[in-house]
Amino acid sequence: MSVLILVTGANGQLGKELQLQASEHPDFQFHFYGSSLLDLSSQFSIESIVSNTPFDYVINCGAYTQVDKAEDETNRAYEINGTALKYLSAACNNIGSTLIHISTDYVYDSINGRPIIETDPSNPKSTYAKSKLIGEEYIQQLCQKWIIIRTSWVYSSFGHNFVKTMLRLGNSRDKLSIVNDQIGTPTYVSDIAEVILNFVMKMENRDVMSSLHNEIYNFSNQGITSWDAFAKKIFDLSDIDCEVKGITSEEYGAKAPRPSWSVLSKEKIESTLGIEIREWESALRDCLDRLKSKS
Ligand SMILES: NC(=O)c1ccc[n+]([C@@H]2O[C@H](COP(=O)([O-])OP(=O)(O)OC[C@H]3O[C@@H](n4cnc5c(N)ncnc54)[C@H](OP(=O)(O)O)[C@@H]3O)[C@@H](O)[C@H]2O)c1
């Protein structure tokens, strides 16, 4: 019998990547729902869709992700990233489904100097970060079977993201000012989608199922960089001649604060799944190749 999987936020970066990788899993029957079909800000929408089919897994890719705008649209961010998880957790319990939820490095306190582990304290600073932590808390309190994956600096060949913005701006400007005091690791969406489906495959192997559930896992690619060094690498690999000037977060002046240190320890997810995560530069090359082949 095939494994039934519901994916919310199906038209975002991660949702689209899962749509792409779905064909590699003929045993999985995916149901992709964009925001117009499953609205996470509506209890009715969540309950009616999730209770309609006995999904084995719900992969929650839907989120309010506009970090600066969330400072002005606080209620909306809390509804979609926070309250929705209360209803989604209850709906998953009703059908015996496992909820796989994607969260963010922004929930952590910035502890410079060593990779952040899952048990490190949280201290979300922005509305977006606070709303995501509330969502996580609802899941841990209410959901019977869940997995939370915290990730950072996600980019892809889809939608809007740092890599695509740099390619666009780098081709039209001689010089760009990019933040140099936020340190972290980029995550190629293809790699995190693979890891999510790896979890599903492992959970279908009933022997290990219970040891995977109800845990938080960090995921990003390996390595450490800053946004300005990330931009330089994008330009180098794409033969774009654009000078990068490093500036501080204060000089950049974004509305919402960002963590200065977002380097996640991936030891837990690597040992749990028995995988080796690749370096961010290698993943970036794949994304740039995919973008080139699309153009
Ligand atoms: N991008 C990053 O750098 C980053 C970093 C850390 C963690 N994350 C987390 O990773 C997950 C996936 O992120 P992503 O990069 O794929 O985000 P994304 O590209 O912005 O996609 C988010 C999706 O959520 C949908 N959405 C918004 N409001 C919704 C609603 N009311 N009901 C249902 N869906 C709704 C959006 O639909 P519409 O297009 O119709 O609005 C969009 O397709 C999110 O949980 C995010 O918080 C992302």
Domain layout of the chain by residue ranges = 3-161+186-223+263-278
Q: Is 64 in the pocket of ligand 1 (CB under 6 A)?
A: yes
Q: Candidates 39, 44, 154, 192: which one to mutate for ligand 1, based on the most atoms within 8 Å of Cβ?
A: 154
Phi and psi for 94 in degrees, rounded to 5? -60, -35
Distance 52 CA to ligand 1 centre (A): 23
pLDDT at site 60: 98
Phi and psi for 104 in degrees, rounded to 5? -135, 155
Q: Is 283 in the pocket of ligand 1 (CB under 6 A)?
A: no
- From first to last of its 295 residues, the chain has per-residue pLDDT tens of 699 999 999 999 999 999 999 999 999 999 999 999 999 999 999 999 998 899 999 999 999 999 999 999 999 999 999 999 999 999 999 999 999 999 999 999 977 789 999 999 999 999 999 999 999 999 999 999 999 999 999 999 999 999 999 999 999 999 999 999 999 999 999 999 999 999 999 999 876 656 899 999 999 999 999 999 999 999 999 999 999 999 999 999 999 999 999 999 999 999 999 999 999 999 999 999 999 998 7
Cα 121 versus chain centre, distance: 20
Q: Is 149 in the pocket of ligand 1 (CB under 6 A)?
A: no
Alpha carbon separation from 278 to 25, 186, 223, 268, 275 (Å, rounded):
22, 11, 9, 15, 10
Q: Candidates 35, 150, 160, 217: which one to mutate for ligand 1, based on the most atoms within 8 Å of Cβ?
A: 35
Q: Is 39 in the pocket of ligand 1 (CB under 6 A)?
A: yes
pLDDT at site 210: 63
pLDDT at site 211: 81
In contact, 182 and 227? CB cutoff 8 Å: yes
Given 33, 87, 106, 128, which residue is catalytic? 128
User: Is the four-CA dihedral 85, 88, 90, 92 of positive or negative sign?
Assistant: negative
Helix or strand or coil: residue 155?
strand
Residue 128 among the catalytic residues: yes
Distance 14 CA to ligand 1 centre (A): 8
pTM over 0.75? The answer is: yes
Q: Is 104 in the pocket of ligand 1 (CB under 6 A)?
A: yes
- Please tell me the distance from the alpha carbon of residue 15 to that of residue 119, in angstroms, as a whole number: 28
pLDDT at site 284: 98
- Please tell me the distance from the alpha carbon of residue 192 to that of residue 61, in angstroms, as a whole number: 11
Overall fold of domain 3-161+186-223+263-278: Rossmann fold (3.40.50)
pLDDT at site 179: 98
